[in-house]
Structure 1
Amino acid sequence: MDILMRAWSYFATNILQQPAWMIGLIVLIGYILLKKPWYDVLGGTIKAVVGYMILAAGSGGLVSNFRPVLVGLKDRFNLDAMVIDPYFGQNAVTAGLEEVFGKPFSQVMMLLLIAFIINILLVRFSKVTKLRSLFTTGHIQVQQASTAYWLILFALPGLATNNTALLVVMAIVLGLYWAVGSNLTIKPTQELTDGAGFCLGHQQIMGVALFSWIAGKMHERDVKKGKEASKKLEDIELPGFMSIFNENMVCTAILMTVFFGAILLVLGRDYLTEAGFMKEGQSFLFYILTVCLNFAVYLAILQLGVRTFVTELTNSFQGIANKWLPGSVPAVDCAVSYGFGSPNAVPIGFLAGALGQFIAIGALILLKSPVLVIAGFVPVFFDNATIAVYANNKGGLKAALILPFISGLCQVFGSALIAGWVGMAAYGGYLGMWDWAVVWPVFTVLMKYLSYAGLAIVIVALLAIPQLQYRADKEGYFLMTEDWEAYKELKAKKAE
């Protein structure tokens, strides 16, 4: 048993939690199962790993580029507040789990293992469960397992006396969430990417599904009322000097310069120099320009990474789907969606979501909330940019502006309520992304106040969602992932 635990720990640390290597392993296994020549297997695996590393470099650069703003707003205005960010949230669990509940953080890794096995089993028996997506983003799974462990233990403290029961119950809920939430993003992702063969496995999967549906309804309402439907961003050709915004790189650079430039000016040269962000004697103007234009650089790097590994992943996954998990697709990082649809949806969604977050934070300050929130870059960017990409695809520019703004409000208000209630705010952070600011607080309330009846409601509701999806489109449901072109033909015939 000890040998097995050491093997699992090694795998979890070096592969499962390192998404580049996890993606590489999936591609390797997939191509082997497809009986590709060894040199194709090797080449495809290297492209997948390197591609994901490029994507990670772009994502990491975006986060680090935001650091002066995040740290500056906290220090400059003496805000003692909780940061909504997955890494701050994971740190809060690490710091407080043993102190609050007397449980070691190592149990989180056991939860991750059991929940991942449950996700695999749910997909393996897809003809019964109607679930078709395997969550493959290990770093996201660690963050979610950490927060889920705290929330479920808070809601059902009676389980604390039996570690086996505790882990099994938690794993069922978390494994179902991974399978059901990512499964909900299959249709909008296939529509966005024209059948690229993946879905989302991230922190806002149910939010993406909900907002995609709302964006579609907004479009349908406009059409029924005889209004001109809101154009998609990629279909808008701006006239005159505004035509420069048709170019994604220029649009991102200008919008970020206006937004972040204003914040950096407020923080001031003296603070930025004292904090070590600027060098002594460095030009303040060119520091601001460099920081702001770096956002365009990192987005371009991120999109290059997407193009490099997505083809390898989706092609190789057919081997796994054909042999072990028929009809399934991999659930991947939300940033992969940025290579599809309108690139300008990314900065627009970020800015709309940031506006929503800042208004909500201002409301918390005015209302003298016992829990104050500082915006973390990961939720404000990756949630809202992703929602905008999907919303634009279904409902155009109007949806891409309105829905990320609403998301920003939800992230702050929901995180402040749940983190303050369960005690995570005292440790300085909460995961803070859409599903964990809206969906998981609902789960926690049901389980806290209805106890095991609430737990049963959560599990039954999650199991029912894919059944309802299947009943709504029995002919096309599995065809959607097995043969996208045939699915489109089916839809075209039904529309005639």
Structure 2
Amino acid sequence: MDILQVVLQWFSTNILQNPAFFVGLLVLIGYILLKKPAHEVFAGFVKATVGYLILNVGAGGLVTTFRPILVALAKKFNLEAAVIDPYFGLAAANEKLTEMGFIDVATTALLIGFGVNILLVALRKVTKVRTLFITGHIMVQQAATISVFVLLLIPQLQNATGAWAVGIICGLYWAVSSNMTVEATQRLTGGGGFAIGHQQQFAIWFVDKVAPIFGKKEENLDNLKLPSFLNIFHDTVVASATLMLVFFGGILAVLGPEIMSNAELIGAGAYNPAKSFLMYVIQTALTFSVYLFILMQGVRMFVAELTNAFQGISSKLLPGSFPAVDVAASYGFGSSNAVLSGFAFGLIGQLLTIALLVIFKNPVLIITGFVPVFFDNAAIAVYADKRGGWKAAVALSFLSGVLQVALGAVAVSLLGLTGGYHGNIDLVLPWLPFGYAFKYLGVVGYGLVCLFLLAIPQLQFAKAKDKEAYYRGDAQ
């Protein structure tokens, strides 16, 4: 038993929580099951792993470019508030779990949840679940936050059964929510063979359903008629650099060179007073474009390998299954400008809502976090633009920004967190209503939420006109 525990702990720490190697391992297994030659198996493993590492470099660079500015804003205006960002949220959740004496629960729950997800896919003829959530770093973040939801709000589970309760509901959420994105993602990618396993699966399902109400898909961002001199903004690099120059330029101008040169506060990205502050602003803005370009290149590399290799896993081990991967994998299939539009209008929605919190003296002040404002709202715009054109992309990403801040403030109060909250759209809808069910109904509320999650794929299957097409993931 001790040996098994050591093996599981090693796998969790080194593979499951490291999505690049987890994806590489899946590609390795998939190509072996497809009986590919050894050199192709090796090449596929390397390309998938390196591709995901490239994605991580891009995503990490976007975050590290933006986060020092958040820190400087908080310092400049003496803001004591919660940052809606999964990394700040993870720290706040771990602090709360430590305070409660349950810091080890999240790691155990992660392994249990992954096992539940595998079981649900293996029993897909009964459960109607087709997706395996494989985004390990997201699972780590969510396991901690969901542990707080369950253990804090249901005191009856603050015992040996707590880890199992958290693990089961994590596994249900990962399996069911990613399953909800299959048709939308197949439609977006033209049969790409993957689903989304991140932080906005419920939102993607909702957007795919309501986007056509806002307009026609033919009126998308790529077909948007611009004055001839604005056609340069159909180029992602030019559009992202220009937008960030305006965005970062405005913020950095307010902050000023004095605070941005504080290396102790800002860290590696601090401004060097010996150089031009204008050039520092320009470089910061252009660096954002660099990391966005890197992210997109990584996506193209690993998605191609994973899609091919997962055919082996789908046919041999988990028949009919889809890998649920990082939401950034969807960016290469939509309009080149949807990602930036989602970021811009989601940010506007967040900032307006933050202003309202200040005006009405809300006891919880929210600070914008980069991960929700970029990754959530970019994905929403990509899917919305595909189904309802630019009007849907603008309106729905703006709405997402509003909800992230408004409901994020409610979640911080509900959980009594200090300094941060997860912030992503799924962690306010549906998890905030789940939290209130836990608080007021206790174990009964927990059971009802589990039944609700189990019912979703059943309803999806019941509504499918072609039952075999449902298992194939065909958009109907």
TM-score range, shorter chain: over 0.9
Partner of 2:453: 462
Q: Which residue of 2 aligns with 1:395?
A: 388
Aligned mates of 1:258, 1:208 — CA distance in 2 = 29
Rounded Cα–Cα distance in structure 2 between residues aligned with 1:29 and 1:348:
38
Q: CA deviation at 1:18?
A: 0.8
In structure 1, the residue matched to 2:234 is 246
Distance 1:209 1:56 in 2: 25
Task: Go from structure 1 to structure 2 and tell me whether the alpha carbon gap of 1:274 and 1:168 turns closer, same or farther (over 3 Å shift).
Answer: closer
1:242-391 to structure 2, matched below 5 A, reads: 242-275=230-263, 277-391=270-384
Give the SS at the match of 1:134: strand
Contact 1:81 1:372 in 2 (8 A): yes
Aligned to 1:431: 422
Contact 2:109 2:168 in 1 (8 A): no
Identify the residue that residue 6 of structure 2 maps to in structure 1: 6
Matched-pair contact (CA < 8 Å) for 1:327–1:478: no
- Displacement of 1:36 after TM fit? 0.8
Counterpart for residue 443 of structure 2: 452
Q: Which residue matches 2:401?
A: 408
Q: Distance in 1 between matches of 2:292 and 2:285?
A: 12
Report the 3-state secondary structure (helix = DSSP H, G, I; strand = E; otherwise coil) of the residue aligned with 1:432.
coil
Determine if contact 1:238/1:245 at 8 Å carries over to the other structure: no
Q: Do the aligned residues in 2 keep the contact of 1:51 with 1:305 (CA within 8 Å)?
A: yes
- Structure 1 residue 377: deviation in Å? 0.5
CA deviation profile, 1:66-108 (whole Å, cap 9, x unmatched): 1232111111111011111111111112222121x222x2221
Moved more, 236-245 or 391-400: 236-245
Residues 1:28 and 2:24 aligned together = no
Q: Deviations over 1:213-236 (max 9, x none)?
A: 1103334xx7xxxxxx77111222
Contact map agreement 2:461 2:470 (CA 8 A) in 1: no
Task: Write the distance in 2 (CA, Å) between the matches of 1:44 and 1:77.
Answer: 50
- In 1, distance between residues paired with 2:119 and 2:18? 22
The CA distance in 2 between the partners of 1:125 and 1:51, in whole Å, is 31
Pick the aligned partner of 1:114 from 107, 112, 115.
112
* Alpha-carbon distance between aligned partners in 2 of 1:141 and 1:68, rounded to the nearest angstrom: 25
Match of 1:124 in 2: 122
Q: Partner letter of residue 150 of structure 2?
A: I
The DSSP-based 3-state class of the residue aligned with 1:70 is: helix
C-alpha separation between the residues in 2 aligned to 1:263 and 1:480?
A: 47
Q: CA–CA distance in 2 between the matches of 1:258 and 1:478?
A: 50
CA shift for structure 1 position 241:
0.7
Superposed displacement of residue 474, structure 1: 4.2
What is the one-letter code of the residue matched to 1:116? F
Q: 1:8, CA displacement in angstroms? A: 1.4
Q: Does 1:147 align with 2:140?
A: no
Aligned residue among 164, 171, 177 for 2:173: 177
Q: Does 1:206 align with 2:202?
A: yes
Contact 1:360/1:409, CA 8 A, preserved across alignment: yes
**CA contact 2:105–2:162 (8 Å) conserved in 1:** no
Displacement of 1:480 in angstroms is 5.2
State the distance in 2 between where 1:230 and 1:190 align. 18
Local SS of the residue matching 1:87 = helix
What are the ranges of 5 or more consecutive residues in structure 2 without an aligned counterpart?
A: none
Q: What is residue 102 of structure 1 aligned with on the other side?
A: 101
Show CA shifts across 1:329-381 (max 9, x none): 00000111111111210111001111111111111111222211111111111
Structure 1 counterpart SS, 2:35: coil
Give the TM-score taking structure 2 as reference length.
0.96
- Matching residue of 1:225: none
In 2: Cα distance, 1:460 partner to 1:14 partner: 33
Contact 1:353–1:406 (Cα < 8 Å) also in 2:
yes
**For residues 481 and 303 of structure 1, what CA distance do their matches in structure 2 show?**
29
Aligned-partner Cα distance in 1 for 2:213–2:112: 38
Give the equivalent residue in structure 1 for 2:189.
193
CA distance in 2, matches of 1:131, 1:471: 13
| In structure 1, distance between residues paired with 2:470 and 2:452 | 23
User: Which SS does the other structure have where 1:233 is aligned?
Assistant: coil
Q: State which drifts further: 8-17 or 195-204.
A: 8-17
Report the number of matched residues: 471
**Compared CA separation, residues 481 and 260, structure 1 to 2 (3 A):** farther
TM-aligned CA deviation for residue 237 of structure 1: 4.3
Shift of 1:251: 1.1
Aligned-residue RMSD, C-alpha: 1.5
- Could you tell me how far apart the structure 2 residues matched to 1:280 and 1:459 are? 56
Q: Which runs of 5+ in 1 are unaligned?
A: 223-228, 492-496
Q: Distance in 2 between matches of 1:83 and 1:33?
A: 45
